[in-house]
Amino acid sequence: MESHKPYIAMLFTQSVYAGMALFSKAAIAKGMNPYVFVVYRQAFASLALAPFAFFLERNKAAPLSYYLLFRIFLVSLCGITLSLNLYYFAINYTSATFAAATTNTIPAITFIMAAFLRMESINIKQLHGLAKVLGSVVGVSGALVFAFVKGPPINFMHWYTATEKPNTDSSMQGCSTREWIKGSLIMLSANTFWSLWLILQGPIIKQYQAKLRLTTLQCFFSCIQSCFVAIAVERQPSAWKLGWDVHLVSVAYCGVIVTGITYWLQVWVIEKRGPVFTAMFTPLALIITAIMSAFLWKENFYWGSIGGAILLVGGLYSVLWGKNKEDRKSETDKQRQETKEELVLECITHH
């Protein structure tokens, strides 16, 4: 049972992420303002994480200068605030399935951005380098195919009788093709900002190693920033009202369960099995979301979307495989260098 715990944890984590896309889509489809949604989500996340950050990391020496605090504020703005606001704005014009699908492009987009910033090496002469480059291109291409190429529908679920005309996805009802394209491009830009946030985390964590406190601070800053955005866009006080409905359930779910519980689970799995093992389960969220969307909203599957999803997942695994091989090669080269230095030192000592 002990060896199966990481698998169970990742299955649960990806199910939670699928639920995030479904709940978010449901709340915004029911009329909740997407910018207000982000404010409440980040508020719930901050409140959920704050006690754990205080009690579990109170013994960690984590000095926080005004300069570092300002950097954390900017990173929160560039990554979390922009990414989440664009994500929830875009999901109003796309589907929960598409939102879950595009998360598979994040490793590829992150690699491309890191390569441009010279934080990631590119060596197409090596097989692992070629796999990373081709995987990035295929993954991003798959997202574009998923968004813009529908093709004939797959009616294997038989939602409709012979006399009924099949509907398009529930997300497309009331939305023109232009709005779908706009939503898809904005969703991809949201993932780009999230990739930028992932890249910017490295230098920040080196300076401020209390990871839970850092996450709480960023959620808090993002809540304040998003509040200003929501107030500027939404002037109706009624839009801020939360009742005992899907709106409250959605923001509480995304804030507490997604940001709180899954954060700990992923950190635990990464410590046990490594980041590549964790990332390999990402496509599960797409599969779960697609199945649940079909049952809940009777969304159609399309051959074009299936082809795009295959390209997405194939590109993801190509990038992960290349990165894993590169890390192993670097570790092997490092060990060989250390062994060589030890032998040289031993020879000098004997002489």
Is residue 223 scored above 90 in pLDDT? yes
Residue 23 lies in a domain: yes
Residue 101 lies in a domain: yes
Is residue 351 scored above 60 in pLDDT? no
Round to whole Å and give the CA distance between 128 and 331.
Answer: 14
Residue 258 gets which letter from DSSP?
I
Residue 200 lies in a domain: yes
Residue 326 lies in a domain: no
| CA distances for 70 relative to 75, 212, 227, 255, angstroms | 9, 18, 18, 24
The number of folded domains in the chain is 1
Residue 342 lies in a domain: no
**pLDDT tens per residue across span 321-330:** 887 787 777 7
Report residue 55's pLDDT band, with 50, 70 and 90 as the boundaries.
confident
Residue 48 near residue 259 (C-beta atoms within 8 A):
yes
What's the N-to-C CA distance of the chain in angstroms?
A: 54
Round to whole Å and give the CA distance between 315 and 131.
Answer: 9
**pLDDT tens per residue across span 125-171:** 788 888 888 888 888 888 888 777 777 877 655 554 444 444 444 44
Q: Which two tokens stand for residue 137?
A: 């291109």
Strand partners, 301: 154
Residue 343 lies in a domain: no
Domain that holds residue 184: 2-319
Residue 226 lies in a domain: yes
327: number of Cβ within 10 Å: 14
| CA distances for 96 relative to 46, 170, 214, 247, angstroms | 25, 10, 29, 16
**Dihedral pair phi/psi, residue 202, rounded to 5°:** -55, -55
Round to whole Å and give the CA distance between 194 and 198.
Answer: 6
Residue 146 near residue 305 (C-beta atoms within 8 A):
yes
Residue 273 lies in a domain: yes
pTM of this structure: 0.78
**Dihedral pair phi/psi, residue 76, rounded to 5°:** -65, -40
Round to whole Å and give the CA distance between 38 and 44.
Answer: 10
Round to whole Å and give the CA distance between 125 and 233.
Answer: 50
Burial 33-43 (b: 16+ CB within 10 A, else e): bbbbbbbbbbb
Mean pLDDT throughout 310-322? Answer: 84
Q: Which residues are within 8 A (CB) of 43 and not within 5 positions of it... i.e. 6 or more apart?
A: 223, 255
